[in-house]
Amino acid sequence: MLHPTIFFISWLVADLVIWIIRWFLLQKFIVSGESRSHYATDLALLFGLIWAVEIGIGTAGCIISVDPVLQVLACTSAVSMNGAIAMRNQGIPRYAFTQILLTDIPMKLATLFQPAPLLRILILQAPMYLTGLWVLLNQLNTNLIKAYIAEFESIHSATHDKLTGALNRLGIVNIVAATLDSTEAQSVETSILYLDLDGFKKINDENGHATGDRVLVSFSNMITGMLRKSDAVARMGGDEFIVFMPDTNEASASLIAERIIEKLRVYTAQNKAYAGLGVSIGIATNTSLTTESLDQLISRADFAMYAAKSAGKNCYKFG
């Protein structure tokens, strides 16, 4: 409005075009399915840099115009945008700093092409200003990473057993809920194995809790190594574990139970201090599992495990 020249009209048009393109790319990025573009993110980053160049050139034009109103508005707006860039892109600090350079350098250089000598102080301020923003960006990035790590560790601690690293009861419930999000998973046969170590108390009492802990960790790792990625192991407390196996019928579950029993037998044979250690396994299956029926399925497997103990231990029974 103050200077309707070709330069400023072109700047307005360019800004609107870039804004529309970036908005369109955002819509392509947030949608799901086939309509989502594979290159939306790359193009959004590219046009973010193009936008920064456009802002830098426009700001430089405002300074060269010698209009004090435009100079004040352009400089304060550019500095404000750089602060927003730092906050918005703290996850990608090098990219953010590149945007800041593209907006800031043209503004500083433009002071050389206007008559007011005091505005060239901006050039002297540039090293300190850019250094400060670089330090700020890296500090923001460090804080963001720490926050994500703390969140992950908090979730992991709440859903996993601290000793063995296996899931706990809450963790296995979450796994079941995530599995059942798939419609197909709700109609397939699911198996639960309830395992209890036989002779563990004797080993724990005779050799100490440190030895008992090593047995539990080794047993947990042993089970995990025998399962598929879709299966899950949880420690229910003490020397009791459960194995959640989606898309597994009784025949497949019994094969896994036999392998666990045999693997533990070989393990105890190689470690004489663990003589007498065995495992009783209860198996329960369900063809329409829900998160509400999970407790019932675990209860059936638990009863079957006690049946295995009554049958002589170191064996498996179906519930």
Could you list the active site residues? 239
Query: What end-to-end distance do the CA atoms of the chain give, in Å?
Result: 82
Say if residues 226 and 183 touch (Cβ distance below 8 Å): no
With 0-12 CB in 10 A as exposed, 13-18 as middle and 19+ as buried, what is 165?
middle
CA 175 to chain centre: 15
